[in-house]
Each structure stands twice: as C-alpha cells, then as structure tokens.
Structure 1
Amino acid sequence: MRFEDFIKDMREDKIKPVYLFYGEEDYLIDYSIKSLKEKYVNEGLETLNYIVLDGDNIEMSHIYDACETLPFMSEKKVVIIKNLGIFGSKTKGQGAEYFNQKKDELKKYISTLEDYICLVFVEKNTNIDKRKGIIKSINKFGRVIEFTKLKGRDLNNWIGKAFKKYGKIISYNNINYFIQHSSYFDRDINKSLYDLENEIIKLVNFTGDRKEINVKDIDEVMTKSLDTNIFNLLNSIGEKDINNSLKVFHEMCVSNEPIPLILYMIIRQLRLILMLKLLKEKGYDKRTIMGKLRIGDYQYKIFSNQSKNFSNAKLEESLNLCLESDENIKTGVMDDKLALEMLIVRMCS
C-alpha cells in the first residue's frame, strides 16, 4: 500500500485497526501520523487517546494497557509504537530480543484488535522482510505501507504547493531545476522532504516580497551538491564549453571538494552514461536499465539527456583520459589541480 492510498482511506473513514509504517521518507511518515491524530483525536484529550511507545523500552503488557482502554470523547484511540526492531531480516534494538520471543502472542493480539483502536508500528529507514509471519498478520488485519521518496509529478506538486503555502509561485521548469540542485535523489546523501522544506523556507526569506522564484534565486541560495556540480561540468564538457567547464571545476575547488573525489565522480558518471547508452542499444527497456545500473527514475532522466551530447567513442576516450590523469596525479608527474584542468580542456576539444 502507498502513502497516497492511506491518506485516501483516512479521508473516507476506512482506517484499519493496525498498520506498519516503514521506509526512507521520514516527512511522509510523520505527516501521516499527524493527519491520523488530527482526524481522530480531539485536541485537549491527547494524553488519553494518543499514546506513543518506544519499542526499546516496552513489553506486551504496555501494548495491552495502551490498546485495551476505550477512547475518551474521541472517535478512535491512536497508539504509535516506534522502533520495535523485529520487522527486518535482522532484528535490532533492545526490545527486539524480547519481542522475537513474543511474536506469536503479538500476532494473536493483532487479530483481536477492535475498530476503535488504530495501532501503528513505525520503522523509519528500515527494510522489512515481508516473509515474516508478523508482517503477514499485519497485512491480513490491517495494512503495511512503504514510505518512499516522492517522484515525478507527486514531487513537483508537493514542491509547488509548499511554495504556494508561503505565497510564492515557481514555474514547472524551475521546480525541476530546484530538484536538480537539492540532492534529494543522491544515493550517498540521506535527504528527505524536511531538507527540501528547509531550502524552500530559505528561498522564501531570500526573495522577500517578490512573488516568483527564479533560477537566479536558486543559484544564489542553494548550495550545489557534488553530484549537481559534476552534472553541470559534464553538461559543459558535452557542449565543448571550456570556459564554463573550468568555472564549475574552480567552484568545486573553492568549496574544498577533494580533487581525487571530483575525478572519481567524473569517472563514475561517464561510466554510467556509457553503460546506459550500450544497454539502450541492446534493446533493454527503461526499468531493466535502471535495475542494472541501480539508479532511480530521476537519475535515468538526467543520464539519458546527457548521453545525447556524447558518442560512445567520445565517452571511451574521456574515460581513458581520466585514467591517464589519475596515474599522473598518483605518480607525482603533475599537480592534481593542474591535471584536472588539463583533463577538462582535453575532454572539451
């Protein structure tokens, strides 16, 4: 079940007695819990009808105590249990050992939950093992919901609405530019919608009374990630723009990005672009390519666009130049910064 389906069920009063919330998007998990509380728990009676338990410090008796008492002057009683630690392929946390021994008891109890209760297990940034009996039991009597990062139109709409909330407007193209600079899909950086919201607030404050957010604002306010700078660098190289290529490289140096890391990232992205082109030529579809390269939809789109500026021969030549520069740096033949500058000039030629 998806996050959107849960919100729809909640609006239609089709809430189940038990859920497992898990996944990488903390913001959406917190938003869902907040929405659940706002809809079913009367403000002022939270201490009686909204209970949060830490899975590291509870036993079955605490779950019974939380769930058995009826809601007081509220439609439902909401009980949140965080980090129980028994849903993944490997258990984790102090309470996991105890609840591993109590799995059958917990499964049996889940099957007896009344409609007045909404019991939610929350496991953030956790991969679950759907073969486990406890998860099958939750799925049978409730729902298991994975909170993945927003993508495509859903992400664009979320960003547009977030700016609108602060009285700002931003075009579709500038939303995509904002996403590109946000590192939201960077596999090496754990970013959530909380981080995007912080960037949006910074842009709102920066633009003051001006209503529309433009590219210049984004460039001024948002710190470019290494991935974004490498993307911009290869774009300029693909367009044979030596001056802008060197400008982007020097900006990375000013930001104290290590030269070896910059070279590694250039090689990595060139390899991904070449592999994508070769897989396309062999007739593989988008989903298969994404799986083989272990990239997401947004990265696929970026690499596909960049691949149009490079022939296979040019990519292979550029990779050989990179390896030559790497050897020159490691053997002391050339200063690392000079070696990268020479590499960029040669790749642009």
Structure 2
Amino acid sequence: MKFEVFLKDIKEDKLKPVYLFYGEEDYLMDYSIEALKQKYINKGLESLNYILLDGDIIEMKDIYDACETLPFMSEKKIVIIKNLGIFGSKTKGQAAEYFNNKKDELKNYILTLEDYICLVFLEKNINIDKRKALIKSIKKSGEIIEFTKLKGRDLNNWINKAFKKHKKTISYQNINYFIQHSSYFDRDMKKSLYDLENEIIKLVNFTGDRKEITAKDIDVVMAKSLDTNIFNLLNSIGQKNINNALIVFNEMCISNEPIPLILHMIIRQLRLIFIFKLLKDKGYDRKSTMGKLKVGIYEYEKISNQSRNFSNIQLEKALKMCLECDENIKTGIIDGKLALEMLIVKMCSL
C-alpha cells in the first residue's frame, strides 16, 4: 500500500485498525501521522485519544492499556508505537527481546482490535521481514505501508509546491538542478524531504522579495556533494573543458575532500559508464542494467547521459591513466593534488 492510498483512506473514513509504517522517508511518515491526527483528534482531547509509546521501554500491558480504553468524544483513538524493533530480519533493542517472547500474544491481539482503534507501528529506516507471522497478522487486519523516497514527477511536484507555499517560482529545469545539488539520491546519504525542505527555506531567505529561484541562486546557497562534483567533473572532462574541470577539482580540494577519495570516485564513475556501455551494446534493457550496476533510476540517468561523452576506447585509456596515477601517488613519485591535476588534463585530451 502506498502512503497516498492511506491519505485517501483517511479522507474517506476507511481507516483500518492496524498499520505498519516502515522505510527511509521520515518526512512522509510524519506527514501521514499528522494527517491522521488532524482528521480524528481534537487538540483539546489529544492526551486522551492520541497515545505515543516508545517501543524501547514498553510491555504488552502498555499496549493493552492504550488500546482497550475507548476514545473520549471522538470516533477514533490513535496509538503509535515507535521503533519496537521486531519487524526486521534482526531484532533491535532490549524491549525487542521481550516482544520476541510475546510475539504470539501480540500477533493474536492484533487480530482482535476493534474498529474504534487505529494502532500504528512506526519503524524508521529499516527493512521488514514479510515472512514473519506478526507481519502477516498486521496485513490480515490492516495494511503495511513502505515510505520510500519520492521520485520523478512526484518529487518534482513536491518541490514545486514547497516553493509555491513561500510564493516562489522555479522552472522545471531548475527543479532538476536543485535535486542534483541536494544529494537526495546520492549513495550512502541519508537525506530526506526534511533536508530538501531546509534547502528550500535557505533559498527562500536568500532570494528575499525576488520571486523566481534561479540556477545561480542554487549554486550560491547549496553546497555540492562529492557525488555531484564528480558528476560535474566528468561532464567537463567529457566535453574537453579543461578549465572547468580544474575549477570543479579545486572546489573539492577547498572542501577538504581527500585526494584518494576523489580518485576512487572518478574510477568508480568511469567503470559504471564503461559497464553501462558494454551492457547497452549487448542489448540489456534499463531494468536489467540498473540491477547489474546496482544503482537507482536517478544515478542510472546520470550514467546514461555521461556515456554519450565517451567512447569505449577513451574509457579504457582513462581507467589505465587512473590506475597509473593511483600507483604514482601511493609510491610517492608525485604529489597527490598535482597528480590529479595532470590526470584531468590528460583525460580532457583523449
């Protein structure tokens, strides 16, 4: 079940007695809980009809006490249990050990929940094990909702609306430029819509009374991630733009990015582009190629775009140059920064 369907169920009063929320997008989870509260909870009676339990310190008695008392002057009573820690392949926390021994009791109790209750298990930044009997019980009585990162048109629309809320406009092209600079899809970066919202607020404050958000504003306000800089560096190399490539490289040095890490990232990106081209030549489709490369759709699109700037022969030569550069740095033949500058110039001349 998608969170948009859950929001629709709230609007149409089709709420189930139990839900399991899990995933990486904290913002959308919190937004859904807030929508639930706004629909069913009177602020003056919130302490009676909205119960938030910490999964690290509760026992079955606490769940019974929260769910067995009827709502007061309200159609629904909402009970949120955060981070119980028993839904993944591995359990987490001291309370998780207790509930592992009580899982049958909890599983059976979930099947008896009345319509007046809405019990939500909230598990942030985990992957659940859908084979577990407890999760099957939740699915039988309610719904399981995965909160993934917004993508494509959904993400573009969210960003556009966020700027509109502050009476700002931004073009479709600059929305994509904003996403590229945000690190939202970067590997190993736990960025959420909260982080994007903070960047939007910074841009709103920076532009003051001016209505339109430009690419120049984004360049000034938003710090570029290492992944973004590597992408820009290889773009410049592919376009044979030595000056711009060296500017991007020096920006990374000013940001104190380690030389070995920069070289490692250059090699990684070149390898991804090379493998992409080989797979394309063999007739692999997008889904299969993404699986082979182990990348998401956003990174796939960047790799696909950059592949047009390099031939297979150029990529082979560039990778050999990188390996030579790595050996020269490690053996102390040449200073690391100078070695990379020379590498960039050579690669631009391929």
- Which letter does structure 1 place at the counterpart of 2:252? M
> Do residues 292 (structure 1) and 292 (structure 2) align?
yes
Give the match for residue 175 of structure 2: 175
Give the match for residue 264 of structure 1: 264
Q: For the residues of structure 1 that align with 2:58 and 2:42, how far apart are their CA atoms?
A: 26
Q: For the residues of structure 1 that align with 2:187 and 2:263, how far apart are their CA atoms?
A: 18
Shift of residue 276 of structure 1?
1.1
- Which letter does structure 2 place at the counterpart of 1:199? E
Q: State TM-score, norm by structure 2.
A: 0.99
Shift of residue 277 of structure 1?
1.2
Deviation string 1:183-209 (CA, Å, 9 cap, x unpaired) is: 000122111000000000000000000
Does the residue aligned with 1:197 lie in a helix, a strand or coil?
helix
Does the residue aligned with 1:56 lie in a helix, a strand or coil?
coil
Deviation string 1:248-288 (CA, Å, 9 cap, x unpaired) is: 10111111111111000000111111111111111111111
Give the match for residue 232 of structure 2: 232
> Do residues 51 (structure 1) and 51 (structure 2) align?
yes
Tell me, which stretches of 5 or more residues in structure 2 are unaligned?
none
- Which letter does structure 2 place at the counterpart of 1:230? I
Does the residue aligned with 2:94 lie in a helix, a strand or coil?
coil
Does the residue aligned with 1:78 lie in a helix, a strand or coil?
strand
Q: For the residues of structure 1 that align with 2:4 and 2:272, how far apart are their CA atoms?
A: 32
Deviation string 1:20-73 (CA, Å, 9 cap, x unpaired) is: 000010111111111111111111111000000011111111101001111111
- Which letter does structure 2 place at the counterpart of 1:345? V
Does the residue aligned with 1:120 lie in a helix, a strand or coil?
strand
> Do residues 141 (structure 1) and 147 (structure 2) align?
no
Deviates more, 1:66-75 or 1:117-126: 66-75
| 1:274-293 equivalent positions in 2, closer than 5 A | 274-293=274-293
Does the residue aligned with 1:45 lie in a helix, a strand or coil?
helix
Q: For the residues of structure 2 that align with 1:166 and 1:190, how far apart are their CA atoms?
A: 26
Does the residue aligned with 1:95 lie in a helix, a strand or coil?
helix
Shift of residue 293 of structure 1?
1.2
- CA RMSD between the two structures: 0.7
- Which letter does structure 1 place at the counterpart of 2:92? K
| 1:194-233 equivalent positions in 2, closer than 5 A | 194-233=194-233
Does the residue aligned with 2:121 lie in a helix, a strand or coil?
strand
Q: For the residues of structure 2 that align with 1:235 and 1:241, how far apart are their CA atoms?
A: 9
Tell me, which stretches of 5 or more residues in structure 1 are unaligned?
none
Deviation string 1:73-103 (CA, Å, 9 cap, x unpaired) is: 1221000001111100011111111111111
Does the residue aligned with 1:44 lie in a helix, a strand or coil?
helix
Does the residue aligned with 1:306 lie in a helix, a strand or coil?
helix
Q: For the residues of structure 2 that align with 1:112 and 1:292, how far apart are their CA atoms?
A: 45
Does the residue aligned with 2:43 lie in a helix, a strand or coil?
coil
Shift of residue 315 of structure 1?
0.9
- Identity of paired residues, percent? 79
Give the match for residue 347 of structure 1: 347
Deviation string 1:122-149 (CA, Å, 9 cap, x unpaired) is: 1100110000000011001100100000
Does the residue aligned with 1:130 lie in a helix, a strand or coil?
coil
Does the residue aligned with 2:321 lie in a helix, a strand or coil?
helix
Q: For the residues of structure 1 that align with 2:298 and 2:42, how far apart are their CA atoms?
A: 41
Tell me the number of residue pairs that the alignment of Structure 1 and Structure 2 aligns.
Answer: 349
Give the match for residue 86 of structure 1: 86
Give the match for residue 122 of structure 2: 122
Shift of residue 3 of structure 1?
1.4
Q: State TM-score, norm by structure 1.
A: 0.99
Q: For the residues of structure 2 that align with 1:74 and 1:207, how far apart are their CA atoms?
A: 45
Q: For the residues of structure 1 that align with 2:72 and 2:138, how far apart are their CA atoms?
A: 26
Q: For the residues of structure 1 that align with 2:19 and 2:188, how far apart are their CA atoms?
A: 30
Q: For the residues of structure 1 that align with 2:9 and 2:306, how far apart are their CA atoms?
A: 41
